[in-house]
Amino acid sequence: MKNYLVTGGAGFIGSNYIQYLLSTKTDVHVVNLDKLTYAGNLENLKPVEKDPRYTFIQGDIGDRALLDSILEQIDIDYVINFAAEAHVDRSILDPEIFIKTNVLGTSVLVDALRAKWTKADGTYMVGKKYVQISSDEVYGSLGPEGDFSEESRMAPRSPYSATKAAAEMLLKAFWHTYRFPMVITRSANNYGPYQFPEKLIPLIIYNARHKKPLPVYGDGQNVRDWLYVGDHCRAIERVVEEGRLGQVYNIGGDNKYTNIEVVKRIVNYLHDHVDEKIDESLITFVEDRKGHDRRYGIDATKIYNELEWKAEVPFEEGLIHTIEWYLKNWEWLEGVTSGEYQSYFKKVYGSR
C-alpha cells in the first residue's frame, strides 16, 4: 500500500491524475491537498469522491503547521506537487501570488518533507519520492528550429515561468545539498477534460458555442507542443515508479501546432457537428500577450529511453475527444465561467 500526497489535485491536471491513479491501481491511498483557488474545483473529483482510498483536505502548501499534522498522521510515500498558480496571463496582471505559492509555498512543502523524511542518522527513509510538476516554459522561447532537451538552458521570460524555474532551482539545491529525494518533470502544454476555460482550447470551445468572438493573440503563429492530459498522467506515474532521483524529465506530445491552427480545427469541428453558424469569421486577433514566447518544442527522448514512455494520443484524436467532453459536460463549463471568470476575461481581452 502506497500513500500519495497530491497537491493541487482539484485543478486540471491534478484531478485527471487522481482519477487515473485510482482507476489503474488498487493498493493506493490518495490525499488531495488543495487550497481551492478559482482554479480548484471539487466537481472535477466527483467520480472518486466516495472512494475510500481518497481523502480531500482543503489547505495551502505554504501552511507548515497543516503539513506537519498531515505528515504526522499519514506515512506519505510519494508527493506529487501540482499546486500552483498556473496561468501566464494572470501572472502578468498580478505576479505576487505566483511568487507566494509557486516559490514560497513549494519551499515550505519540501522543507516539511525534508524534516519528516530524514532519519536520526541524517539519511532519508527508503522509498520516499517527491515529484515537482514543472513546465517547458522554464526554457523560454525557441527559435524556428529544434526542441528543448533537459540540458537546454533555463531562460524563463514570464512571471509565471520565472516562479516555476525558481522552484526548480530550489529543488535542485535541495538535491545537491541534502540529497532530498526529488524528481522534476517539465511538460508541454496540456489539453483535455476539466481544463479551466482561461486556456486556449476550452476558451475557444466556450466562446464559439456562444458565438462570441474568438480571441487569438498577435498573428496566431505562436507554436505550442500539445500533450493530451491522459498521456501526461501516465508519464508522471512512470516517473513516480521508476524516475531516477535528482533527474529532470521532459514530457512532450510531439504535436506542434500554431495557435491559429488549433483554433481553426475547433471552429471547423463545431461548424460540422454542432452549428453551422460557428465559423472562422468569429476569429478576432487581439493585441499580443506581453513578452509572448514564440515557440516551444520538447525533446522527450530521455523519458522514452529510461522509462519507456511516449505520448500515445494523436492531436487530432485528443482534440475531438476533448471537444466532445466539453459538449457533454456543458454544465461543468457554464459552472466555472460565472462571476470571477467574467471579470478576469474583461481584464485580459477587454469587453469583447
Q: Which residues are catalytic, by number?
A: 136-137, 160
Closer to ligand NAD by CB, 278 or 318: give it: 318
Closer to ligand NAD by CB, 11 or 215: give it: 11
> Residues 38 to 57: which contact ligand NAD by CB under 6 A?
39-40
Which is it for strands 256-258 and 223-228: parallel, antiparallel or unpaired?
A: antiparallel
Among 29, 32, 48, 62, binds ligand NAD (CB under 6 A): 62
Tell me: does residue 133 bind ligand NAD (CB under 6 A): yes
Count of positions on this chain that bind ligand NAD (CB under 6 A): 30
| Smallest distance, ligand NAD to C-beta of residue 155, A | 16
- Ranked by CB distance to ligand NAD, the top (closest) residue is 11
> Residues 171 to 230: which contact ligand NAD by CB under 6 A?
187, 189-190, 196
Tell me the C-alpha distance between 330 and 343, whole Å.
20
Tell me: does residue 70 bind ligand NAD (CB under 6 A): no
Task: State which amino acid sits at residue 347.
Answer: K
Residues 6+ apart with CB under 8 A from 291: 92, 157, 158
Tell me: does residue 112 bind ligand NAD (CB under 6 A): no
**Residue 130, SS3 per DSSP:** strand
- Specify the residue for cell string 526554457: 139
Tell me the C-alpha distance between 188 and 172, whole Å.
20
Tell me the C-alpha distance between 129 and 149, whole Å.
23
Tell me the C-alpha distance between 198 and 302, whole Å.
31
| Smallest distance, ligand NAD to C-beta of residue 13, A | 4
Closer to ligand NAD by CB, 63 or 279: give it: 63
| Smallest distance, ligand NAD to C-beta of residue 160, A | 8
Tell me: does residue 162 bind ligand NAD (CB under 6 A): no
| Smallest distance, ligand NAD to C-beta of residue 272, A | 27
Helix (H) or strand (E) holding 348: helix 340-349
Tell me: does residue 61 bind ligand NAD (CB under 6 A): yes
| Smallest distance, ligand NAD to C-beta of residue 70, A | 12
Q: How far is CA 311 from the centre of its chain?
A: 16
For residue 258, what are the β-bridge partners? 223
| Smallest distance, ligand NAD to C-beta of residue 310, A | 17
Residues 6+ apart with CB under 8 A from 331: none
Closer to ligand NAD by CB, 228 or 282: give it: 228
Helix (H) or strand (E) holding 125: none
Residues 6+ apart with CB under 8 A from 37: 85
| Smallest distance, ligand NAD to C-beta of residue 82, A | 4
Tell me: does residue 135 bind ligand NAD (CB under 6 A): yes
Tell me the C-alpha distance between 289 and 274, whole Å.
30
Q: Which of 183, 162, 159, 163 is nearest to 171 (CA)?
A: 183
Among 11, 159, 215, 230, binds ligand NAD (CB under 6 A): 11
Q: Give the largest Cα separation in the chain, rounded.
A: 69
Closer to ligand NAD by CB, 3 or 107: give it: 107
Among 12, 98, 228, 257, binds ligand NAD (CB under 6 A): 12
What residue ranges bind ligand NAD (CB under 6 A)?
7-8, 10-14, 34-37, 39-40, 60-62, 82-86, 101, 105, 133, 135, 164, 187, 189-190, 196
